[in-house]
Structure 1
């Protein structure tokens, strides 16, 4: 009623004027629309209710014949509010575009009543809720619709097929779920379809070949399974196909060879198999081809040379083998080539440098031979074009070619982890555009050239694990952009130059395992951006710099320097030396005889002392030699150990290299396992995040800047055999869902097992609810989002036949936009068959979440025990109370308290007081009921997680959900 009165007051001038002239529906509709908006930038000031027409208003266009509003385009105006009913007055509107604003609420289906609407663009807002069926039942003449980058949920309505005139559909970057309706393929005029970055699943339905005019299809980043559409080649006009980052399997359909107009093909990040098809040469229009991160095998056919329009090719992270064919020379437009993480062999082909490529990545293959054979770099046609060259982790030999300095635009040069020897050529100083120079893990010797000063743009310099000698040139101080200086594990000598202190951007410095001597420059304390400074195992002496980073430096960063002193190394620095004893020459004669006697006695003692000193010197010399040999042996042993601590990449889960029996086995399911803190500091107690029933968790960082969380399992005496352990871990590693913490890899020895997980920096749900300054300050929308996201994560686990066993708020992690990720799932499967007493002891911290069947030997443990824990978690999120709270003289069980409140009609009183009434009662009560149903004492009375998700989605329509819950 109040809103109606306010609207009348706002429209009073218009209503009065309408008495004198015919009411202008366009002006009225837009003024009412504006009255419900917040316009922080005053972009709509030209919208004046006194106007006879809206045609001159900003964002408004009119048809010149009818003088009625035909287009309303307010993109990027920073407007907020809801999409009300007033826009239906604009019956001549053809284009409604409100993208890149802050509109909230659900999509009003009344927009379908705008009869002439051709284009509807509501992308990049904060709209939520499901796609309304009614919007598409009456869509009439709609030709293009974009709802991308919102927070829409639920299914894609089958009624979308009613929009027979649709040519463009973009629902990307939402949270739409369920299967793709086959009715979608009945839109015979459809040309552009983008459903990427959602939660869609199941198989791609048949019938896509009926879309004869389809130009572009993007289903990237969903959960589709099964084979690629067999008859996709019948969509002859396709120019862009993107099915990347799904779980599709099988090979490439042969019909695809008919897509002769296709320019863009991305099938990366799936489970596709088979060989690279020879018919790929028939797709002559291809400009972009990405088959990376699949399980393709075999050799690359010569027909690849037929793709003369090809600009970018990514075949990385597969199992391709053999050599790269010379026919690549025909790909004259190729700019980006990535064949890394495969099994390619032979010499690096000369055409790599003869083509004018901009980026070349051939890392982690088996290329061998001399990098400059036969003088290919001297004749390179890519001097002016190449920006990225990554040949790391191969078997290349010879030296670093001096011609490397001719690449005038090179930004990244990585030839680490090869067998390159010789000197670092002075021509590296000519790389004045290079940001990253990585020559680490080779056999380079000689000194660091002073010419390095010419690399003015250098941000990261890695020369570690070589045989370099000599001092760090002071010229390195000219590289003012340096953020990382990694020179560890060499034979460098001299003192640490004070010039390093002038590199104000430095974040990481690692000089460990060298022969540096002298004291550290005090000026190093001025480096305000330092995160890591490691000089361990050198001959540094004296006191550490005082102030800044060095006040909190870790002891492990300075260990192995016996002459270093200070509180960090627990070795006090020496005080001022005492003055020497001086005899008084004017002493009396009476003392002279005594003095002579004493001197004679001292001569005898001196002769004996001299013998002892000589013997001690010999003993010390022998000790020094022995210690030096032991140090050399220790460093070699550590190098071997680090080499043994290797990893395996890809979905094939191939075994690590090195001696697994002696050193353990590290497997990474994707990416690199090069830890920035060094292997010895993976379980640094200072980086401990917390402890649970299954072990402690530590945070560390990979070289690529990615943080990971490492769980050290404390079940040594109970862990399965290595074969069983690895089978279960690999199964967990395949669990990929936006509401599950991703398992990135694992480390195995008989006495130590580590799980390497995705790191979520937002903290646990428990922390958000019960700890910190803002405990419990989550909004209702955020709490509902957490509950729904957690449900989706659990449902995915159950679909994959995995029971969590330990569902509680500390195992739900929160990241951006308050989206949850469920962690620590399936850990009980890593143990042998346990009786319930042992299992209960492992999850004893889950007091209040444990289903009653844990205490009953005759009841089978199923997914329903997770549903029980989830029900308790719902109540915890809504009330802000712990499952069990100990009062002064009482114990409050949350589940029992809420059942009593439901019986007495007091649920509203139990909702977290920090919400201060800012929650919809029509949603809160059904959610509480759902939590209590999930926490039923009888497992069969609890719903499945799929049913829970449907109920939560229905709760946004209270009248329907009430029937479900009663």
Structure 2
């Protein structure tokens, strides 16, 4: 814990300074005590790990986490690993002149590295990794000639590495600077570290050519060399063969070009090689086959050409092979099965042909095989379905034959099966429903001409089922959703018949249901309304009939619906997205009632009611006889009297109207009383403001009148002050306030920058009330407003975690960076909120100012869009002023707004959303100003993508991330930021794309 008194701290510093002036013999035993206590004084220790560190002790040797030399009683080791300490690494430690080991990893230390640490002359091991340290690496570290181990990884250190840092590094064996923000060239003095065994500069921003030869290649004792995830470029020269001790070489994620070193096979101890995600070209050097202990080889995402090396089967120690996304040709050697230790094989997206080797069944440890995007032909080796594979992806090839029967071993192990885009025939094996661990099944784009197995419902872990365009026949099994885990069900483009099963309502996890282009008949079951998570519903081009269940209007998450080209009639549901469907989504039916359609409107209603005149027996007959003479004398009728349908309807209508008038009168009286109460209370609340001359009396309008008593008890003067201000933006300043003084009920109040512009409260009221009705989980709800001709306030919910801008660009060192899962959640949630604004209202609600400052985060870091619809409120009044204001947000402005007259539409929001994605992925601002240039983030990332290095832009603070999610998201962002508005997708399409990206994809091999 920090010292309780500043006086005590000053006293310690005084003693510490005096101790430095006294004779060593006088205070020798106290030097370590004083140094450690001063060091502790700058530390926050929430769990009191350092409570045993007592300044009254004459020796620290009994303290926790301290090791002493038994001979002289001086401190030699300080081990404070992972104790959740925070604060600064301040003064004091330099007093410990016998210290050999200082280890502080896994804490929350911030600030710069204290250069006085270099004064510990005999220090041999220094570990400051996994903290929040920032600034430059001190140049004084060049004086630490005794240092053998230096780990500064996973911090926020920046700037270039001092070129003289390694002037005295003869003793250095281990060096790791990975996971920082270091830039510039690799220091040339590194060649003096001739004893270096482990060298790691990964996940930084180093650039240029690393001067391999005779530079790094001269470090002949290297065992691990990791330069991955930087911006290094140029060719990797030969002469790597001099590194006879090298075991691991990682150069992936850079801009290297040229061919691989021809003599790489002369490093006999190499066990792991990763050259992926560069621009290497040419053929693989044959010397690789000399590496007899190599178990990991990754050459993916390069420009390698030539035939697939037949000698690869001689490397029987390989466990991991990834040659995906290159231009390899030819066929695989039939001897692939000789690689007995093989566990992971990915050859996707090359130009490979021929059969899949049957000998792969001899690779008994194989559990992931990916061959997608080649031209393999022939049939699938049956033996593969008798193995313990976790993932099998043979999609987008020319494979023929049928799907082999599986064994019980595969039933238990298989998680991903993708055979889509081939020429498979025959039936889907009935036992496919026995794959207990299967989460992703895609058989689309084949010629199966099969019925759907009835046991798919037993796949308890299945989240994606894609059987599109596979010539399926028969009906949809009723138990298809028994598991309840299915998120995506796609059966489009088949020959399915019969009704949509009522049991479809059991698919409680469905996000996407697509049954289009079949021959399904019957009505749309009401049970579809139970799919609360449903976002996409596609039923077009079938034979569905009847009316659309009104209950479907309760599906609040729907973004896309298409029911066109069926036999549907009647009214559309009144809720959800249905009132705003485009013509293309409902056309081609028998009689849907919509102003968009020119055809007839048919209602599926029961036949008219006809009363039987004899239903009441003699009572009516006797009455008829009593009145017969009268009737005959007037009109000659001889029929019995009975009530017609029209008479019944008229009577019922009159009763309803009468009751309605009475009810409305009562409600109006109640409303008048309530408004009078609120107005009186508001008048008393605002009177103090009026008397003080600060505010003109106005009205606070609340959409939820139940809260009025709380709201009106707060004085506006106590809210609109500098102390309560929490932010400002294009449309005004935001203040934080509590309801009725209750600190548990916090709201945000925005004071609009529209003084002397709005003249009529009626117009303001109409627009704001419309925005107040907008509700969505990813939108900040508007609760009310306050209006006078001089001032307008908007009242909304308060987001406890602040804005995305502050969390992304203004993060405190003690706050952990956002992980990829959180960032993706923010992207998807923001997209859903914007899609709701664009597609659920006519005219659409355009946000106009999409940027991280307007994306707020709740306690679970769920995104909440604020300030939506203010363009609708304000642009009617002064477009020129707003256009100028919008120019103050560089990087977010769609080019059509920056260069032409103000034309705000949905595509402007899509552009801003694309920029927001890029900020989340890269951690950088949309425009960065350097000394000599300006970097436009979208242009920078687009250039990297064209070079094949898009992942170089990923924020290193994010840690590990799934490349197969991040890369598609980056590509989506670049599409959204297209210069041509028509080339940008709609937000509904964006949500659909993100849903597909987030669906279970082939998993990475564990343990590598």
Structure 2 residue 271 is matched with structure 1 residue 263:
yes
Cα separation, 2, equivalents of 1:816 and 1:294: 22
Cα separation, 1, equivalents of 2:837 and 2:377: 38
Structure 2 residue 400 is matched with structure 1 residue 394:
no
Matched with 2:417 is 413
Matched with 1:107 is 113
Q: How does 1:270-289 map to 2 (within 5 A)?
A: 270-289=278-297
Count of matched residue pairs: 662
Matched with 1:349 is 357
Matched with 1:7 is 9
Cα 1:796–1:199 shift into 2, 3 Å: farther
Deviation string, structure 1 residues 941-962 (Cα, Å, up to 9, x no partner): xxxxxxxxxxxxxxxxxxxxxx
Cα 1:226–1:798 shift into 2, 3 Å: farther
Cα 1:360–1:502 shift into 2, 3 Å: same
Cα separation, 2, equivalents of 1:190 and 1:829: 48
Query: Alignment partner of 1:61: what SS?
Result: strand
Determine if contact 1:482/1:506 at 8 Å carries over to the other structure. yes
Matched with 1:368 is 377
Cα 1:511–1:521 shift into 2, 3 Å: same
Query: Alignment partner of 1:25: what SS?
Result: helix
Matched with 1:231 is 239
Q: TM-score, normalised by structure 2?
A: 0.59
Matched with 2:521 is 517
Among residues 444, 450, 457, which one is paired with 1:453 in the alignment? Answer: 457
What are the ranges of 5 or more consecutive residues in structure 1 without an aligned counterpart?
Answer: 597-674, 676-680, 694-706, 708-738, 742-752, 768-781, 805-812, 832-966
Deviation string, structure 1 residues 203-260 (Cα, Å, up to 9, x no partner): 1213222111000111111111110132222111110000001111110111212011
Structure 2 residue 53 is matched with structure 1 residue 50:
no
Determine if contact 1:740/1:793 at 8 Å carries over to the other structure. no
CA RMSD of aligned residues (A): 4.7
Cα separation, 1, equivalents of 2:547 and 2:978: 53
Deviation at 1:96, TM superposition (A): 1.0
Among residues 434, 443, 447, which one is paired with 2:447 in the alignment? Answer: 443
Q: How does 1:119-134 map to 2 (within 5 A)?
A: 119-134=125-140
Cα separation, 1, equivalents of 2:450 and 2:31: 83
Matched with 1:33 is 39
Greater CA drift, 222-231 or 510-519? 510-519
Deviation at 1:111, TM superposition (A): 0.6
Matched with 2:367 is 358
What are the ranges of 5 or more consecutive residues in structure 2 without an aligned counterpart?
Answer: 580-591, 594-601, 615-620, 640-827, 829-833, 850-862, 864-890, 894-906, 944-952, 960-969, 981-1008
Cα separation, 2, equivalents of 1:800 and 1:533: 36
Among residues 458, 470, 477, which one is paired with 1:473 in the alignment? Answer: 477
Q: How does 1:80-229 map to 2 (within 5 A)?
A: 80-136=86-142, 138-162=143-167, 163-205=169-211, 206-207=213-214, 208-229=216-237
Deviation at 1:370, TM superposition (A): 2.0
Among residues 568, 579, 597, which one is paired with 2:608 in the alignment? Answer: 579
Among residues 483, 493, 501, which one is paired with 1:497 in the alignment? Answer: 501
Matched with 1:295 is 303
Cα 1:310–1:574 shift into 2, 3 Å: same
Determine if contact 1:762/1:814 at 8 Å carries over to the other structure. no
Deviation at 1:126, TM superposition (A): 1.0
Deviation at 1:502, TM superposition (A): 2.6
Cα 1:394–1:268 shift into 2, 3 Å: same
Cα 1:362–1:490 shift into 2, 3 Å: same
Query: Alignment partner of 1:398: what SS?
Result: coil
Deviation at 1:301, TM superposition (A): 2.2
Deviation at 1:185, TM superposition (A): 2.1
Deviation at 1:186, TM superposition (A): 2.3
Deviation at 1:795, TM superposition (A): 5.6
Cα separation, 1, equivalents of 2:892 and 2:243: 36
Structure 2 residue 312 is matched with structure 1 residue 304:
yes
Cα separation, 1, equivalents of 2:613 and 2:975: 84
Matched with 1:656 is none
Cα separation, 2, equivalents of 1:40 and 1:391: 53
Deviation at 1:582, TM superposition (A): 6.5
Determine if contact 1:312/1:336 at 8 Å carries over to the other structure. yes
Cα 1:204–1:400 shift into 2, 3 Å: same
Cα 1:322–1:527 shift into 2, 3 Å: same
Deviation at 1:475, TM superposition (A): 2.3
Cα 1:689–1:196 shift into 2, 3 Å: farther
Q: TM-score, normalised by structure 1?
A: 0.61
Q: How does 1:365-764 map to 2 (within 5 A)?
A: 365-371=374-380, 376-377=381-382, 379-380=383-384, 383-403=386-406, 406-407=409-410, 408-538=412-542, 539=544, 541-544=546-549, 546=551, 550-554=555-559, 556-561=561-566, 562-563=568-569, 565-567=572-574, 569=578, 571=592, 574=603, 577=606, 579-580=608-609, 686=839, 762=916
Cα 1:581–1:74 shift into 2, 3 Å: same
Cα separation, 1, equivalents of 2:487 and 2:333: 39
Cα separation, 1, equivalents of 2:456 and 2:971: 48
Greater CA drift, 504-513 or 92-101? 504-513
Deviation string, structure 1 residues 462-521 (Cα, Å, up to 9, x no partner): 112221122221222332332222222222233333333233333332223333333444
Deviation string, structure 1 residues 370-414 (Cα, Å, up to 9, x no partner): 22xxxx31x44x734311100011011122122366513111111
Cα 1:757–1:345 shift into 2, 3 Å: farther
Cα separation, 1, equivalents of 2:976 and 2:480: 49
Cα 1:45–1:787 shift into 2, 3 Å: farther
Query: Alignment partner of 2:217: what SS?
Result: helix
Determine if contact 1:287/1:309 at 8 Å carries over to the other structure. yes
Query: Using CA pairs below 8 Å that are at least 6 residues apart, which structure has the higher relative contact order?
Result: 2
Cα 1:326–1:583 shift into 2, 3 Å: closer
